[in-house]
Amino acid sequence: MKEKTILFAVAVLLSTVGLVNAQEPELHGTFDFTYMSSYIWRGFDYYADDHSAMQTSIDLDLYGTGVGVLVGYTRAINGGFENSQRIHVSLYYGNDLFEGEPYATNYTTGWVYYGFPDEPRGGSSAASAQAADMQEWFASLSWPSICPAGIVPSYTILTMWPSEGNSAASGNSGWAHIIGLGYDWMIPGLLPDTPEQALHLTAAMVYNDGVAPGVVIGPASGSVDHDWSHAVFGISTDFAISDNLSFTPALYYQSSWEDTVNSEDETWVTLSMKYKF
């Protein structure tokens, strides 16, 4: 089933590329390398006890159609977490509705495959029981013009399920709801050549209805309570190094409410280098 799902996704992607390539627009994308002092994934301290991690990704905008593909790789910087290094592949589509209206809506919907290359593969009953690969469907909405003060509300709904039947991750399937707010606070430039600097302020509150990582480092499989699990507050800013290269430092704080997701509040930083082409 997993192989059929991946092959179907690749076939859809290739057919889309062939269609839009005939229109002769340009292919754009972003390379990203991010250092994380802790890898906090949807509330979970993914590499327990605040171990740092690195994440690399490439995000392709397929010829301005709104269709995109993102491939990322995440692993702990310290040893001992080899089985939990993760590759994720996402196919998505984004567009907007009601342009020019106060209720103008931006939306993105897509599918994500989370794979663990060092975990056992499917094929035998024993391997299937240990396989940790997960899939996800998500839809995100935001309303950039609804608030005259510049605050942007957003809502994301997602569902996750294991890619292998009868796997160790079978108890990690469920839904999650994320309610967010964003605001760009303009301040005087922090660099001599920058007249203004945008500080990106974010806040999000999460209701977890059973979602957990495929490889569970903290809580046991299937142990997540269905409740409001946490809130995350962040601040970040972008520094342009060149026309295509930027550096983004960010600081985050998580208030943890549900012990089956995370029993501790968390504070962490990320440092990202992005190259756009």
Residues 250-266 pLDDT 10s:
999 999 999 999 999 99
Per-residue confidence band for 125, with pLDDT thresholds at 50, 70 and 90: low
pTM comes to 0.85
Decide: 225 and 212 in contact? Cβ < 8 Å. no
Decide: 39 and 66 in contact? Cβ < 8 Å. no
At residue 191, does pLDDT exceed 70? yes
pLDDT at 122: 54
CATH number for the domain formed by residue range(s) 2-276: 2.40.160.40
pLDDT at 193: 79
Residues 56-87 pLDDT 10s:
999 999 998 999 999 999 999 987 777 778 99
Domain boundaries, the chain: 2-276
Q: Is 16 exposed, middle or buried (0-12, 13-18, 19+ CB in 10 A)?
A: middle
pLDDT at 251: 98
Per-residue confidence band for 223, with pLDDT thresholds at 50, 70 and 90: confident
Residues 129-154 pLDDT 10s:
456 789 999 999 999 999 999 999 99
